[in-house]
Chains A and B, each alone.
Chain A
């Protein structure tokens, strides 16, 4: 037990030290993070509260819906937990940098296993736990649950989490004995991306908005049949629902105790089973994960052509920087595979426009098409900002520990930073213009709206890239092991806030002039001088804000990188 606690102590000490010896400004950072997390928490609570209250108002099938939803929530959590445990276990059991030290120390493999299982449990479960709690609180509030419900909730969560961790760890142990650990990580990552895409597309194409409208179903009977289909009694999600539901619905006959014991005993049994599996295969698997795998690369392929083409118009130092970034991006499975997500995003984005039923609206379709087209600039900009935070913001940080190469070379920081800017400009502009042009085509807008939205999105994307590269240089994290961490950190958050403000300012500044021009064209209205003056002033404002978004962050980023050399 003492050794087990000792093995867990580094994470505890690191956590304590991070809090005690926080960097400059980390108090503000922490406060902002907490505020945003709380915002999400309250949002989930409020969202579920509204949905459940809406269900409850429906006589007859409202309760069935709420129960069905709870089963789905548990099932979703279990699926997320399983996946996250498999991915986390790969790191904690096989890829962590401290494992070499731990495995060379005189500690039994069993103790290492239990300590690492605890690490896996914490790392993979805390987020699900944090964001799951408001869901169940919403149930408690809507159904006016008593103390028993909350006691059952406290009892049901630990075995549920432990069961997912034990299953995930056992699966990982077996997997690593078949495939190399690094390759397994890549494959799993790719599979998880594909799974998310398939789920996302399926969910969207099901058109869930029709679910709240029973009229859309051919008959009430089929609606009820679909709702009352039982979930599998062998799934832990079913057991968890059965533990909680009776205390919510105030059922007198309850099997909650039985299902709780079933959950606890299964979690315990699978933990022991996982430790047996570890006993026989962990040592071999870890040894195997140490073997470096040579990877064959083809010399002539589309990536090479792209790497060659992308830098052609620029000077040699920029050219090699671009070629390096293109190659690095496409050789890192965790990077390029996210392009698949992007593709799914574009498909669903455009699909939304294709199923938009404007005829039902009380506003004339012609006006609505053009209003939506204008608002679509903001929406597409937000998509571009999301892409920028994931791919462009970490551009500077992705140099990692190899940043010394750039700094000791005769390449100016200015060239380095602007090259980063140019790398991302063509792909992001192409994506944003595809979104705008195709959705405008589906909306059948006027040519004026087509021109104004394509030009506006072009400028906004340039501003967003400047903002992302610049802030990425202001908040670089060269030590980050994973680029996704860079995007989700403090700097990424600041970028998203400033990006949203920037887009909102541009859209607001353009709103009135675009409306005025549109109406004047439509009705053949005259142009008074004051109108021309205000329109000109607004467009000058747009140009000014765009230029500021582009150059100010780049300038700040440049100064920040230069200042790093003085510390």
Chain B
């Protein structure tokens, strides 16, 4: 459903993403992990079509994003990590706006919008301006908007940021349901427990290159780590941060 072929992004002298190739199958949740600055958000933006790759291709449902961007984007729902929205629209008006952009049938709009607002517990706020929403509410509104056109592909950058435990649980359940419906979900996250619990396969990116890819058990086997996904992640990505943290804590206790 999503296919990245030799995807490369260069910012002047910095190679943010380096010949990255991966595939997300229909009905699969793909977790995209990596330390800060590894190239996760750059990759996500290229898949969502907001950033053009220096070279390489992105295919969405078999459609080349560079060749037919409108056709490809029509089946993608994008949820960025920071919920920047039109502050002077109400929640319902924002959904109406998104429905217009994605060509959702106006006859079906209201019932779909109402059920999504209900699902994300925003019904009472639907006539309030977005500027009065909390961070978590904005995040939930973006999710409602992304699901409104019934996308075949969902691209999510940090899905749980700003959500309370109840909201996080709700999102996990929705992702599982979407997977059952055949939707491909590409998730970038720092929350390893969520990745381990939710994702069918995980890819780890480091300095712009896809380091490893596979199911959680496979990654643990590759890393020679036991127990948690966190151990495998730290082993595969060098664990420098972990070591730095340990020495910092040691310094604190000695002083």
Contact = CB atoms under 8 A, between A and B. Distances in A.
Contacts of A411: 70, 101
Given A294-B128, A401-B84, A410-B73, A327 B100 contact: no
Contact of B89 (A328, A412, A566): A328
A567 interface: yes
B80 A404 contact: yes
Interface string A502-530: 00000000000000000000000000000
Given A293-B132, A407-B49, A410-B71, A328 B102 contact: no
Interface string A406-431: 11111110000000000000000000
Interface in B74-94: 74, 76, 78, 80, 82, 84-86, 88-90, 93
B5 interface: no
Interface in B51-88: 51-52, 54, 69-74, 76, 78, 80, 82, 84-86, 88
A533 B172 CA distance: 75
Contact of B129 (A295, A405, A412, A567): A295
Interface string B27-53: 000000000000000000000111110
Which of B69, B70, B71, B97 counts the most A-chain CB atoms under 10 A from its CB? B97
B103 interface: yes
A410 B74 CA distance: 5
Interface string B88-126: 111001001111111100100000000000000000000
A402 B86 contact: yes
Interface residues of B, number: 38
Contact of A410 (B54, B70, B88, B89): B70
Contacts of A292: 131-132
B252 to A, nearest CB: 20
B127 interface: yes
B102 A407 contact: no
B97 A323 contact: yes
Contact of B101 (A299, A320, A327, A331): A320
Q: Does more than half of chain A's interface fall in helix, strand or loop, or is it mixed?
A: helix
Contacts of A324: 86, 89, 93, 97
B130 to A, nearest CB: 9
A332 interface: yes
B160 to A, nearest CB: 19
A294 B103 contact: no
A299 B127 contact: yes
Given A297-B90, A299-B127, A404 B100 contact: no
Interface of B: 11, 48-52, 54, 69-74, 76, 78, 80, 82, 84-86, 88-90, 93, 96-103, 106, 127-129, 131-132
22 contacts: A292-B132, A297-B129, A299-B127, A319-B100, A320-B100, A324-B89, A324-B97, A327-B88, A327-B89, A331-B88, A332-B88, A402-B86, A404-B84, A405-B86, A405-B98, A408-B50, A409-B73, A410-B72, A410-B74, A410-B102, A411-B101, A566-B51
